[in-house]
Structure 1
Amino acid sequence: MTVAPSAPPRPQALPELEAKPKGVFERVLLAVFIAVPLLAVAAAVPFAWGWGLGWSDVAITVLMYTVTGLGVTVGYHRHFTHKSFKAKRPLRIALALAGSLSIEMSVIDWVATHRRHHKYSDKEGDPHSPWRFGSDWKALTKGLVWAHMGWLFDAGRTSPAKFCPDLVADKDIRRISRVFPGLVAVSMLLPALLGGLITMSWWGALTAFFWGSLVRVSLLHHVTWAINSICHVMGEEVFDSRDKARNVWWLAIPSFGESWHNLHHADPTCARHGVLKGQIDISARLIWIFERFGWVHDVRWPNAERLAAKRIS
């Protein structure tokens, strides 16, 4: 692995933030949603050893992780943020709902933040660059913590009106963003409901909540945040992205292809991030399936000439 050698200047406050910052209650609630699932991950091994892990727990966890994870990668990221493809209205709504169940911000807030990230990637104004504090090992360690989750507690809130007016103008997406707290409740309670119905027991509901809600949310969040942190510091650089974005192969499957981050920053609107031989990109395969069913169109698949022009010789 290679480590990016230099760093841009530390970001300063920009006028592209909402007038009303995040309040104390919101940041405390955020801390709870980070800490509690993380504690569940820490307790996962002794919990499984002492009380077992049923097949229904595994099935529910895998299902919820896959649906919500692809809701983020295919929906929030490749469709809503970068417009890598156009989707028919029912699928567009389904992707917004699936992404919301990941509990990674409402669709409008997520897209606004990510578009701001791409506008200033690893430069002044990037909301979560690991190079924020400098390039020596102490500054970079601090920056990795910031890029991974510290930025979430920053009081500044990216302005949707400035970064995603297209979504603000979409009444369906606006409604889904408005009911985000309710979708958080659905995401947390649905695994318990499924587990209870499958096993017809309260214990089945409890274990499904532990694995399918707490553990699943924590794993998905940390995989997503690792794209912001790890993939901007270490890994392979194949294409000229004009920032620090790198490829981290061991995150490819849990991130559904998002960790082929170098190509993504070199060609952000491309629907496939893993464009080289052996680069597994589950999200791109799902988009391909949607295209075959006629549910999406105008997919921006990799262009050989464009890739060759960006390839580092």
Structure 2
Amino acid sequence: MPVSSATSTAESPPAAVPSATVPHSWEYDGTEPFPEKEPAAPRDRGERLYVAVTAAIVLAPFLALGLAGWLLWGRLIHPADIVLALVLYTVTGLGVTVGFHRGLTHGGYRAVRPVRIALAVAGSMSFQGDVIGWVATHRRHHAFTDRPGDPHSPYRYGTHLRGQLRGLLHAHVGWLFRNSRTSAARYAPDLLADRDIRAVSRAFPALCLLTLALPFGLGWAIGGTLVHALTALLWAGLVRIALLHHVTWSVNSLCHVIGDRPFRTRRHDRATNLWPLALLSFGESWHNLHHADPTSARHGVDRGQLDPSAAVIGLLERLGWVSDVRWPTPDRVAARRV
């Protein structure tokens, strides 16, 4: 991808908040609730469809966790289910972290065309939205981190206890239901101009079906029965999707409230490092360094900070499949340290 486009868009100064929303004299101080727009008009059919689809994507895997618990109590789980779940969690999770995030959003490296497409496909199979929409939203998050304009800041409702609890829920999952559209033309023009990425973006519904059909088909092929197919669909399909969803959303929510902040970030940006999520998030929870240096291909830079996504990028670089990797240098890291 054009690295310069990704970098400049992600880190460009935020545009002014519309005057209809915020008085001209108002300036965010880091503690107040974000200003709300005028009361919204009743939802039209498109809005209602958006909410319904979002609810299905969010709630169906979550409900599957309850069913999975009941089935586990009844010991209806097979070794193949666990293996398939781990493999698909790793493939789709790295598609998001290495492909969507460090590559397409921030330009931390340049990938050859087949790898670029494969990572975009793998990330799309995570059920987190089409690739262009995901990238545009995340670039907008970086442009307005933890201030008005950020689509999923946990500080939206202020820093008092009630507002913080409400903000955590908003940052974790509530923002998905607001349908606060992010302009791809503004935040991801490079991807809109990329024929391959546009094709992957259009294929998102089919890739969602594929991410469920794969465990179902493989479970049937391995176990030879419909029961094996259904348990694989449950564990390696729905439960795997639910877990990856909540790990990703925890980076949006918990990694802006709980954890350490050893590196300087921009004003109001409260991104933190949260070590318990490091492996499950493939290194994304070293979030403080990421916000201090967004284009860095490695997020875990201190001793003992495991970063599987950076390890994968390093392997791809050794294979000659990615180049121009923006590895952090000691001087660059030291310059950002508190």
Asked if TM exceeds 0.5, the reply is yes
1:297 maps to which residue?
323
In structure 1, the residue matched to 2:292 is 266
Once the two structures are superposed, the pairs formed by residues 141-220 of structure 1 within 5 Å of their partners are 141-220=165-244
One-letter amino acid matched to 2:115: L
Instruction: After TM superposition, give the deviation of residue 12 of structure 1 in Å.
Output: 4.7
The yes-or-no answer on 1:132 pairing with 2:156 is yes
Three-state SS of the structure 1 residue aligned to 2:151 is coil
Offset of 1:201 from its aligned partner? 0.8
* Counterpart in the other structure of 2:120: 96
User: Are residues 143 and 84 of structure 1, via their aligned partners in 2, closer, same or farther at CA, if it must alter by over 3 Å?
Assistant: same
Give yes or no for contact 1:196–1:202 (8 Å, CA) kept in 2.
yes
Change (3 A) 1:64 1:230: same
2:281 to 244, 251, 255: 255
Equivalent residue number for residue 7 of structure 1 = 31
**1:48 Cα offset (Å):** 1.4
Matches of residues 13-32 of structure 1 in structure 2 within 5 Å? 23-32=47-56
The equivalent of 1:116 in structure 2 is 140
* Deviation digits for residues 153-172 of structure 1 (CA, Å, limit 9, x no counterpart): 11221010000100000001
Deviations 1:244-287 (A, max 9, x none): 00000000000000000000000000000000000000000000
Question: CA offset at residue 190 of structure 1?
Answer: 1.1
The question of whether the paired residues in 2 share the 8 Å contact of 1:8 and 1:124 is answered with: no
Pair 1:235-2:271 in alignment = no
Q: Distance in 2 between matches of 1:180 and 1:32?
A: 15
| Alignment-mate amino acid for residue 238 of structure 1 | P
CA separation in 2, counterparts of 1:148 and 1:189? 27
Per-residue CA deviation, residues 106-161 of structure 1 (Å, 9 max, x unaligned), is 00000000000000000110000000010011000000000001000112210100
Does the Cα contact within 8 Å between 1:11 and 1:123 map onto a contact in 2? no
Moved more, 135-144 or 47-56: 47-56
* Residue identity opposite 1:122 in structure 2: D
Q: CA deviation at 1:11?
A: 5.0
Deviates more, 1:300-309 or 1:284-293: 300-309
Matched, 1:57 2:81: yes
Q: Partner of 1:51: helix, strand, or coil? A: coil
Q: Which blocks of at least 5 consecutive residues in structure 2 are unaligned?
A: 1-29, 39-43
Matched, 1:282 2:308: yes
Distance (whole Å) between structure 2 residues aligned to residue 202 and residue 40 of structure 1: 18
- Quick one: which amino acid aligns to residue 175 of structure 2? W
CA RMSD of aligned residues (A): 1.7
Partner of 2:71: 47
TM-superposed deviation, 1:34: 1.1
> Could you tell me whether the CA contact under 8 Å between 1:57 and 1:207 is conserved in 2?
yes
- Give the Å deviation of 1:36: 1.5
State the secondary structure of the residue aligned to 1:234: coil
- Give the residue type in structure 1 aligned to 2:159: S
Question: Structure 1 CA distance, aligned partners of 2:70 and 2:169?
Answer: 27
Gaps of 5+ in 1: 1-5, 15-19
Amino acid at match of 2:281: S
Which letter does structure 2 place at the counterpart of 1:179?
A: A
Shift of 1:43: 2.8
In the TM superposition, what is the alpha-carbon distance from 1:25 to its structure 2 partner?
Answer: 1.0
Residue 100 (structure 2) pairs with residue 70 (structure 1): no
TM-score (norm 1): 0.94
Pick the aligned partner of 1:81 from 95, 98, 105. 105
Aligned to 1:235, the other structure's residue is in SS state coil
Establish whether residue 244 from structure 1 lines up as the match of residue 270 from structure 2.
Answer: yes
> Quick one: distance in 1 between partners of 2:248 and 2:222?
30
1:213–1:266 Cα change, 3 Å: same
Measured in 1, the distance between the counterparts of 2:128 and 2:49 equals: 17
Contact 2:105 2:139 in 1 (8 A): yes
Shift of 1:46: 2.5
CA contact under 8 A between 2:76 and 2:231: conserved in structure 1? no
The equivalent of 1:33 in structure 2 is 57
Q: Cα offset for 1:29?
A: 1.4
Query: What's the offset of the Cα at 1:52?
Result: 2.8
Contact preservation (8 Å) 1:22, 1:155: no
CA contact (8 A) 2:88 2:236 kept: yes
Q: Which amino acid aligns with 1:222?
A: H
Rounded Cα–Cα distance in structure 1 between residues aligned with 2:248 and 2:241: 11
Larger RCO (CA within 8 A; separation ≥ 6): 1
| Equivalent residue, structure 2, for 1:310 | 336
Q: How far apart, CA to CA, are the structure 2 residues paired with 1:87 and 1:21?
A: 40
Corresponding position of 2:26? none
